[in-house]
Structure 1
Amino acid sequence: MRRLGLTLVLCLLPVLGHAQNRAQTLADIRAELAALAAEFNALKSELISTGAISSGAAGGDALTRLDSIEAAMARLTARTEEVELRLNRVISDGTNRIGDLEYRLCEVTEGCNPANLGATSVLGGASGGAAAPVAQAPATAGSATAGSATAGAGGAELAVAEQQDFDRAKEVLGQGDFQGAAALFATYAQSYPGGPLIPEAHYLRGEALSQLGDTGNAARAYLDAFSAAPEGPFAPDALLKLGEGLGALGQIPEACVTLAEVGARFPGSMAATQSTVAMQGFGCR
């Protein structure tokens, strides 16, 4: 069941990565349908009041055609509401499953108290716009620098303080102060939620924690990086290292499922090749 749960989480994330935009689109559609219905009813009333329907000036059996159009609009409105409800259920279910995985990671992480875990951020929220597909991620923390320039230039414009805080954390990581870098990236993520550099900040925090041997918290950081942008530049390596971290923590079934997802989602990437090797090492079938 746990393997099935993790599989469902990984399958749902691409949908959740765009959930906010889709919810907004559905709201726009409903608003447009409501406006169209109002105009339609006004037109229908005008035709009835002027006698155009009964006189045939509107052409043929106009009332029957108007009734058919009205019924079609009602069906479309109902379908829109149905899609919106289903999307909300997917968001809720995916958020709960991610929260469950975070809890299990905390349980096997030394010094982590599950009681201190905050509420899981709703998937598809502030970070939903960061999931646009881009080039594959670099495999190392040093080469990951190139990704930040793309995110800053192609996404939302960064505030001066936001860019400075990120550069400072990356500089500390480059100096080998992994404890300091992990703390700075964590502070950055809390200070600028939903920013275009959040996936990279989580990923680099995971790199710093890995260097410290804090496998559990590193795995959680990689999970955060992947969840923030399931199709972004850091997604392949984040998913790979999440799988490797789960395996190192003894969560072999979950590790195998996660590593298999790397090849399925990012075929031909370096991360996919590395995941195959890791699966062999964990004895995955």
Structure 2
Amino acid sequence: MNSRTRAAIVLALLGTALVPAGAQAQDGTDARLRRLESELRAVQRAVFPGGDGRYFTPEVDTSTPAPGATPAPAGPAPTAVTDILVRLDAMETQMARVTARSEETAYQLQQLEQRLQAMEAAPAATVPAPAIGVIPAPGATPPASTPTPPPSAAAAPASSGQTRAAAPSPERVAAVQAIAKPQTDDAGDDEYSYGFRLWQAGFYPEAQQQLALFLQRYPSHARTNWGRNLLGRAYLDNGQPREAATHFFENYQANKQADRAPDSLLYLAESMIAINDTNRACIALAEFGDGYPALATGRLKEQYDRNRSRVRCSS
């Protein structure tokens, strides 16, 4: 065997050994790229929710040229290196889109937080405890002693220098007694429903007392959100917007997704309008429009439009 024959055999053996090694390196690079692409898609799904593919575009799509486009000159066949570069370019594009969306979301959250801080910075109105006496049960005989009158009754000066409210008339006591209190298996709902009937009949101070009693006894009842909202309305309808605003704001802050949270926010704006606080009224209206767009064009549209027409907001 001459030297040329031995050299050819050595080169053939070297080529056989090098090809698998190169293929193995390529396989490792592809595995890393696939892992990075999978992680990036997971990040995309978290930033762009929705699994129907509307937020995602093909990474590379050169199958069909655009109409009128000049065909690209034929070049060398794609290699493993060019394929890696193309996939890296697609990953960089997706990462830029994710970053932009994250910054936009952070800005929106910052604006919402500033609005809520402005509302919370409002001086809380002091809500006086209801001063009316215990509402007599339906059919009960009125007590001999004079009950504590409702806060809306006219006050007369006493000899000690303090004021004493006038006692409710016998006709009013009889009218309150005529309102039946429900008697069902749900005692909490009965208390709320009785407060609602008092409010509906126009006995606002008595309704304030009854609803406050319901909230004290059943703080975790399913009607609690409704009770706080109705308590605010009992004050608002009785000409006490400052006291009403406190209950509306607390109800909205307690659970913004509850049934009557949007109603409380809208009535909060109405209370601010009643005390000529245009700035806070506009904040509440803007918060309502942004947070409950479906209600602003649906169930609460009439009240929303009416409140907006009563104030002039900068935006």
TM range (shorter): 0.3 to 0.5
TM-score scaled by length of structure 2: 0.40
Structure with greater helix percent: 1
Q: Which has the larger radius of gyration?
A: 2
TM-score scaled by length of structure 1: 0.44
